C-alpha cells in the first residue's frame, strides 16, 4: 500500500491531467451525438449539463491548484476553473450549430454555468470548513 501512496504522490498531476483529458474528450463526443427530441428528457438534460460541468470545474480546479508553472492560475484556481469550464461549455454549444442533429441551447449554457458556480461554492466552503476544523484540532 505504501508503494501506491508514493506512486500517487509522485504522479498526481499527471493523473489529474489524464482524467481531465479523458473527461473533456468524453464531453466533446457526447455533445456531438444526435439528440433525441423527447419532451421528458429536456429537464433531465439540464441536470446532466449541470452535473457534467460541475465535475469539469472540479477537475479543472484540481489541475490548476496543483500545477506549479503559472502562478496566476495557482493563486486563483476557482476563478480560472469556472472561466475555463464555461468557455468549454460555450464552445461545445457553439459547435452544435454546425451539426445537423443538434442545436445551440442557451439553457444548456445556463445549466453549465450554474453547475460550475455551485462547484466553486462547494470548494470554497469546503476549504473554509476544512481549515477551521484543522485549526481547532
Query: What are the pLDDT digits (tens) for 3-31?
Result: 777 877 788 999 999 999 999 999 999 98
C-alpha cell at 78: 476557482
Confirm if 20 and 84 have CB atoms less than 8 A apart: no
Contact 56, 66 (CB under 8 A): no
Q: Which of 45, 27, 29 is nearest to 84 (CA)?
A: 27
pLDDT for 58 equals 97
Q: How far apart are the first and last CA of the chain?
A: 27
pTM: 0.87
For 34-87, the pLDDT digits (tens) are 876 666 666 788 999 999 999 999 999 999 999 889 999 999 999 999 999 999
Tell me what pLDDT residue 49 has.
94
Amino acid at each position: 500500500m505504501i508503494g501506491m501512496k508514493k506512486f500517487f504522490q509522485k504522479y498526481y498531476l499527471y493523473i489529474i491531467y489524464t482524467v481531465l483529458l479523458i473527461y473533456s474528450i468524453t464531453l466533446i463526443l457526447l455533445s456531438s451525438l444526435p439528440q433525441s427530441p423527447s419532451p421528458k428528457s429536456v429537464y433531465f438534460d439540464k441536470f446532466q449539463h449541470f452535473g457534467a460541468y460541475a465535475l469539469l470545474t472540479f477537475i479543472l480546479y484540481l489541475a490548476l491548484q496543483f500545477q506549479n508553472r503559472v502562478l496566476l492560475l495557482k493563486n486563483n484556481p476557482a476563478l480560472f476553473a469556472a472561466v475555463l469550464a464555461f468557455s468549454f461549455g460555450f464552445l461545445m454549444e457553439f459547435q452544435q450549430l454546425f451539426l445537423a442533429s443538434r442545436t445551440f441551447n442557451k439553457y444548456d449554457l445556463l445549466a453549465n454555468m450554474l453547475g460550475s458556480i455551485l462547484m466553486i461554492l462547494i470548494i470554497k466552503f469546503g476549504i473554509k470548513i476544512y481549515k477551521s476544523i484543522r485549526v481547532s484540532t
